[in-house]
């Protein structure tokens, strides 16, 4: 009874279809010839009573060896009119092997609610897959392509970027601290500083010694030590002779090949001789020797200082 009803309905739809010039079921490929790897749309259309549903037999993977179904069938109701629904089933096919194929018949199950009313097997479809023609005249062999590198995502590089930035920050901090430490260790300003001329320093020092009135207070040894020290510092600066670690005789010997007048050399010898006597031999210099020492030292400095040419 039920079967009779369905055939009656299908006959009605068929009759209406005939009336409107529409097929009840159709299945076609968007192209019958494709290049290897190309996609082709497989579209099947069904005109069914509105309360009928359909289900396509799932065909995952290869439809036939050499042809591949990409994704699932997408079933959609395109229109509904006078109790008849037009349902469309779409799928995408591709092939990676050239040749002639026959897409096997599509199997469609028609349901009335939960009840399977009928099973339809649609016609086979031809598909021609062509390959790239090889120009044998200018044939050139190419190497295999290397693996395709997918672009790196931000999430993947975020951790490494953070680590890199931290290392750079540490290096910058270390350089800053080292520079600061060196600057503190050597607080000398990098700008050239004006140095006082050796004779200016020596004359000021001799003047200070004179004002301290050391020999007048009985501090003769200190007086001669200070005078000879001032002269040694001056000679070291002026004549580039190491003096602080040299004895009087050694200083005079090293000065022998420097430009020094005999009179100035004599002055220096006299000062050093008296100073060595006082410093090392408990010698008490005469008042005249004490009085003459500073003027002699000043004379030596003023006679020998380096003049601008």
Partner 1 sequence: MDTVNIKELNERIQKESAFVDILSMEISKVIVGQKHLVENLLIGLLAGGHILLEGVPGLAKTLAINTLASSVNADFNRIQFTPDLLPADVLGTLIYSQKSEQFQIKKGPIFANFILADEINRSPAKVQSALLEAMQEKQVTIGDQTFKLPEPFLVMATQNPIEQEGTYPLPEAQVDRFMLKVVVSYPKKEEEKLIIRMNNSGSFPKANAVLTPEDIIKARDVVKDVYMDEKIERYIVDIVYATRTPEEYGLGKLKDLIAYGGSPRASISLAMASKAYAFIKRRGYVIPEDVRAVCYEVLRHRIGLTYEAEAENITTENIISEVLNAVEVP
Report the nearest approach of partner 1 to the CB of residue 290 (Å). Answer: 15
Residue with tokens 């700008």: 191
Q: For partner 1, which stretch binds (CB under 8 A), given 20-28, 172-180, 277-285, 300-308?
A: 277-285
Residue whose CB is less far from partner 1, 51 or 284: 284
Residue 22 binds partner 1 (CB under 8 A): no
Q: How many C-beta atoms surround the C-beta of residue 170 within 10 A?
A: 10
Q: Answer left, alpha or beta for residue 273, where phi above 0 means left and psi between -120 and 50 means alpha.
A: alpha
CB 21 within 8 A of CB 78: no
Phi, psi dihedral angles at 142 (to 5 degrees): -110, 150
Report the nearest approach of partner 1 to the CB of residue 221 (Å). Answer: 8
Residue 280 binds partner 1 (CB under 8 A): yes
Of 218, 214, 242, 239, the C-alpha closest to 303 is 239
Of 116, 249, 286, 302, the one binding partner 1 (CB under 8 A) is 249
Residue 284 binds partner 1 (CB under 8 A): yes
Cα–Cα dist 10/2, whole Å:
12
Q: For partner 1, which stretch binds (CB under 8 A), given 60-68, 159-167, 182-190, 272-280?
A: 272-280
Residue 188 binds partner 1 (CB under 8 A): no
Residue 273 binds partner 1 (CB under 8 A): no
Cα–Cα dist 105/100, whole Å:
16
Q: For partner 1, which stretch binds (CB under 8 A), given 23-31, 261-269, 280-288, 297-305?
A: 280-288
Of 279, 298, 299, 305, the one binding partner 1 (CB under 8 A) is 279
Helices 220-239, 198-212: crossing angle, 10 deg rounding: 170
Residue 225 binds partner 1 (CB under 8 A): yes
Q: Are strands 125-130 and 33-35 parallel, antiparallel or unpaired?
A: parallel
Residue 72 binds partner 1 (CB under 8 A): no
Residues near partner 1 (CB under 8 A) = 218, 225, 242, 244-250, 276-277, 279-284
């Amino acid at each position: 009874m039920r079967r009779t009803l369905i055939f009656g309905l299908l006959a009605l739809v068929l009759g209406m279809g005939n009336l409107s010039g529409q097929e009840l079921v159709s299945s076609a490929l968007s192209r019958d010839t494709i290049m290897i790897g190309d996609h082709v749309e497989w579209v099947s259309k069904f005109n069914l009573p509105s309360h009928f549903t359909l289900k396509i037999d799932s065909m995952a993977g290869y439809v036939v060896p050499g042809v591949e179904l990409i994704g699932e069938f997408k079933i959609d109701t395109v229109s509904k009119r006078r109790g008849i629904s037009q349902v469309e089933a779409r799928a995408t096919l591709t092939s990676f092997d050239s040749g002639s194929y026959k897409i096997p018949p599509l199997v469609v199950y028609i349901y009335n609610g939960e009840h399977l009313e009928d099973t339809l097997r649609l016609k086979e479809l031809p598909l021609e897959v062509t390959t790239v023609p090889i120009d044998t005249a200018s044939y050139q062999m190419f190497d295999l392509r290397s693996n395709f590198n997918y672009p790196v995502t931000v999430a993947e590089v975020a951790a490494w970027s953070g680590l890199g930035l931290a290392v750079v920050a540490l290096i910058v901090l270390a350089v800053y601290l080292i520079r600061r430490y060196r600057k503190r260790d050597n607080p000398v300003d990098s700008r050239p500083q004006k140095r006082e001329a050796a004779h200016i320093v020596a004359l000021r020092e001799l003047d200070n010694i004179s004002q301290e009135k050391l020999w007048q207070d009985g501090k003769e040894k200190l007086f001669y030590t200070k005078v000879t020290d001032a002269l040694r510092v001056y000679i070291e600066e002026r004549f580039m002779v190491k003096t602080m670690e040299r004895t009087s005789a050694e200083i005079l010997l090293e000065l022998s090949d420097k430009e020094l007048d005999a009179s100035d050399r004599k002055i220096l010898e006299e000062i050093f001789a008296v100073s060595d006597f006082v410093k090392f031999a408990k010698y008490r210099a005469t008042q005249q020797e004490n009085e003459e020492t500073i003027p002699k030292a000043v004379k030596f400095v003023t006679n020998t200082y380096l003049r601008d040419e």
